[in-house]
Each structure stands twice: as structure tokens, then as C-alpha cells.
Amino acid sequence: MQQRYEGKAAIITGAGRNVGAAIAYRLADEGARIAVVDLDEGRGMAVAEEINTKHPDAARWFSCDVSDSGQVQKLVADVVEAFGAVDVLVNNVAITDRGATVLDLEEDMWHSVFKVCLDSVFLCTKYVGRQMVAQGNGGAIVNIGSTSGYRARVNATAYAAAKAGVLSLTRSVAAQLGGHGIRVNSVVPNKVGSPVGQDVEPEDRERKNVLNRGAVPDDIANAVAFVASDEAGFMTAADLLVDGGSLHAGAGS
């Protein structure tokens, strides 16, 4: 496998399972040192240990509420102490309000979804961005979006709104950080792996796309590995759809 990330350090939020874990494994396979960020110690440690079995001392688990400014600042300082720098940030963590409409969604849930899905992207980008600027070598930030950010959802309210915010924030931040050589892009999946917040994918999960198969976490990891690499050095402010054509090819939701 290519070693596009040799000597680089990456922070991946929500890296304890599903898409986040797949991204961690993929970047580690390409030479990166990985900060596995997850509040669940069991899941986070398991991912870090699996990476270290294959690539000794390449990964560490970090516990961090990435919606809390103080904890994010400490995370960045701890990762720099451990790895010497931060070269890549993948904002992946998310929760959802699946099943709720605007008529019955609890306000606490609305705020929780925004904190985890959108505030975390702002905070991690702010403080990792400051570190990247101080390092003076540029960097890559990848935000994991969702096709929910593009279209109406009858069974989710806060999640769709927050993911739309992630897409807009990605473009604004890309414009602000481009002068520092920091690229900011989004990767946009549709129903990949287990549903948000769950460990197991239901066998009867319905998916509609033009490729007639379900997405797997490695599909997203492959896209992230490309867009965060130097091979995508002229890409920024882009929304990279990795959805099997479900959004724009008339395949439904």
C-alpha cells in the first residue's frame, strides 16, 4: 500500500467504530500516526490496539468531548505532545435524532445533535487550525457530511440541519484557511455501515442507489485517504459525494 502519510499525524473523531475506525485503519496503513478520539474507552482502545498490533506505537486513544472547547484544546495539546504535530483532522463524530419531527423533537435533543455534529467541527477546526498555522506546513481537514445535509428528511430534523451546516462551514473555513496552505473538504456518504449511533447494521436496512449495493466504511475511508493526501493538493472547499449516486441520480433516499 502507498505510504502517503509517512511521518504525519492525524486526529480522527468518533474513531471507535464504523466509518471513523475504518478511516483510522486506512491512514495508519499508509504510515500515519493516529489519535483515536472517542469517549467510549472500550471502543477507542480496541481500535488503537488493533492498529498498534499491525503498526507498533502508531496509535493512541484519547478521550475527548469534542463539543467542549476546553477539552478540545487539551486534546490538541496532548496530541502534539504525543506525536509532535497535527497534519490531518477528520471530523467524523455524529449523533442523530432519528424518528423525530419538528412537532415532537425535544429541544434538548436538538441542541445535543448540533453540539456533537456541528459545534465539534467548529471547535476542532478552530484549535487544530491554529496548531497547523503555527506549524507553518499547511494541513488537511476532512469533514464527514451526509446526503441528509442536501435534502428533506421526514424522519430526522436536527441531524439534517446540522449536516447542512457542516457543508456550509466547510466551504467558509476552506476560504479562510487556504492562505495558510490548509485544505478543507467534506466527504458525503449515504447510509454507510451501521446507522449513526449504532454498532450493528440491521439486515433489512433499505438503501437506494444506482450501484445497487450498500456502502461499507472502507468506501468512505478510501475517499478520505485520497482527499486528505497530497494527491488532492489542489482540492479545497469541495463536497466529495461517496453515495452510490443516491443524491443526484434519482435513486431516492
Map out the domains of the chain as residue ranges.
9-242
Q: What is the pLDDT of residues 20-63, one digit of tens each?
A: 999 999 999 999 999 999 999 999 999 999 999 999 999 999 99
Q: Which residues contact 48 (CB under 8 A, 6 or more apart)?
A: 34, 36, 59, 60, 61
User: Which fold does the domain 9-242 belong to in CATH?
Assistant: Rossmann fold (3.40.50)
Q: In what order do the strands lie in the sheet with 239-242?
A: 59-62, 33-37, 9-13, 88-91, 139-144, 182-189, 239-242
Average pLDDT taken over every residue of the chain: 93
Tell me the β-bridge partners of 140: 88, 183
Active-site annotation holder among 5, 127, 150, 159: 159
C-beta atoms surrounding 251 within 10 Å: 17
The answer to whether the CB of 148 falls within 8 A of the CB of 206 is: no
* pTM for this model (two decimals): 0.94
Higher pLDDT, 152 or 250: 152
The yes-or-no verdict on residue 110 having pLDDT over 90 is yes
Q: Which residues contact 56 (CB under 8 A, 6 or more apart)?
A: none
Confidence of residue 100 (pLDDT cuts 50, 70, 90): confident
The yes-or-no verdict on residue 195 having pLDDT over 90 is no
Beta strands 59-62 and 9-13, pairing class? unpaired
Question: Is 159 annotated as catalytic?
Answer: yes
Q: What's the whole-number mean pLDDT along residues 96-114?
A: 94
